[in-house]
A = this chain, B = another copy of it.
Amino acid sequence: MAILVNEESKVVVQGITGREGSFHTKLMLEYGTKIVAGVTPGKGGIKINGIPVYDTILEAKEEHQEINTSIIFVPARFASDAVFEAIKADLNPIVLITERIPVRDSMKFIGYAREKGIRIIGPNCPGVITPPKTKIGVLPAHVFKKGSIGMVSRSGTLTYEIAAAITNAGLGQSTCVGIGGDPIIGMDFVEVVKMFEEDEETDAIVVIGEIGGNLEEKLAEYIKETGQKKPIVAYIAGRTAPPGKRMGHAGAIISMGMGTAESKIKSLNEAGIPVAELPSQVAEIVKSKLEKLKK
């Protein structure tokens, strides 16, 4: 089944007429993603790559009742409205590619969506791919191959890097989820890892983190409590990065020492999760874990 998206995902592209929206609609269609409609207010009636465009999701759904998933390319200042439109139309999941969305907006629509049980992936994320069934995002298709590794990442391009290495190592991905790089995002590591743990097509999990926030530490906490149900391998970017701008005293009080590469690597190691030094090492470690599992 993989997770979050599959061949049953019938997609509406919000912001389909924009530069990124139209370009990636084409790529997603080439991959086989079931895109059934696009939405851009004021552009209803035209077609983009053969896909009919509507002014609103509601109109799109009246014509295509099968729509259940949204991908959003709408510019930051209109993105919040676009997300609420998708929520109101009961689309789930909602893949939010847009970057530079004000954090207050993200808190509002993510809070609302979570209460309704609607999953938002992003914002500022590359999307989700379940090879070879569907790609709902901007991830470069050719680095992914059907396989049994569940990938989840806060980074975009770094994910492709590691996915390519995994693919080259003769493995492949069940699903790869880019949860996004913003401070406030819809899904966190724990939630996605839980889904992979439940997923029959996933044998091992790769987690790609980076400095800042405490999603990695919270994952480590969860694994410490419940144990590793499937092998997990991590990579943390930013070991040599300079310390980021700090949120005054409040930032220090809230983070309580979490957020640095050291803190993350230490927590993950304590939970029994190996952390690769180079992105290229992730594939090898996963491979050896899987082989141990077979024995």
Contact = CB atoms under 8 A, between A and B. Distances in A.
Interface in A101-118: 112, 115-116
Contacts of A116: 115
* Copies in the assembly, this chain: 2
A112 B108 CA distance: 13
A112 to B, nearest CB: 7
Interface string A235-254: 00000000000000000000
- Interface majority SS (helix, strand, loop, mixed), chain A: helix
A12 B197 CA distance: 39
Contacts of A115: 112, 115-116
Contacts of A112: 115
Nearest to A116: B115
A112 B112 CA distance: 9
A108 to B, nearest CB: 13
Nearest to A117: B115
A211 to B, nearest CB: 32
3 contacts: A112-B115, A115-B115, A115-B116
